[in-house]
Amino acid sequence: MSLSALVRHAVEGTRPMKRNRVEVDPALVRQLAQIGNNLNQLARWANRDKRAVEALAVIARLVEIEREIVALRHSIEKVPDAD
C-alpha cells in the first residue's frame, strides 16, 4: 500500500482492505528475474551502442524473450488455483 493511501485511510478513519496472499513458485520468480535481467541488458546496449549490424541480434534475442514469456504464461495458466 502506498504512503498516500495509508494516510488517506488514517484521515478517513477507515481500515485498509487486506489483500489475499498468493503463493508464488520460487522457480517462476527466478525465471522472471532472468528475463528482466536480459531486457535490462538489451536496453543498456540500445542506449549505449546503436549499430545497425547488431540490431538483428538484438531483435532475435527479443523474439526469444517473447517466446519465454509466452511459455511462462501458458505454464501459469495450467496451474490449478489454490483456493
The one-digit pLDDT tens for each residue of the chain (83 residues) are 778 887 888 888 888 777 677 677 888 888 888 888 887 787 777 767 666 667 777 778 878 888 888 887 777 766 555 44
Q: Is residue 68 part of a domain?
A: yes
Cα–Cα separations (whole angstroms), residue 67 to 34, 72, 73: 14, 9, 10
Query: Whole-prediction pTM value?
Result: 0.45
Q: Is residue 74 part of a domain?
A: yes
Number of domains in the chain: 1
Q: Is residue 49 part of a domain?
A: yes
The pLDDT, as a whole number, for residue 83 is 46
Q: Is residue 31 part of a domain?
A: yes
Q: Is residue 44 part of a domain?
A: yes
Cα separation, 48 vs 58, whole angstroms: 13
Q: Which domain holds residue 71?
A: 24-83
Q: Is residue 6 part of a domain?
A: no
Q: Is residue 15 part of a domain?
A: no
Q: Are 43 and 2 in contact (CB under 8 A)?
A: no
Q: Is residue 11 part of a domain?
A: no
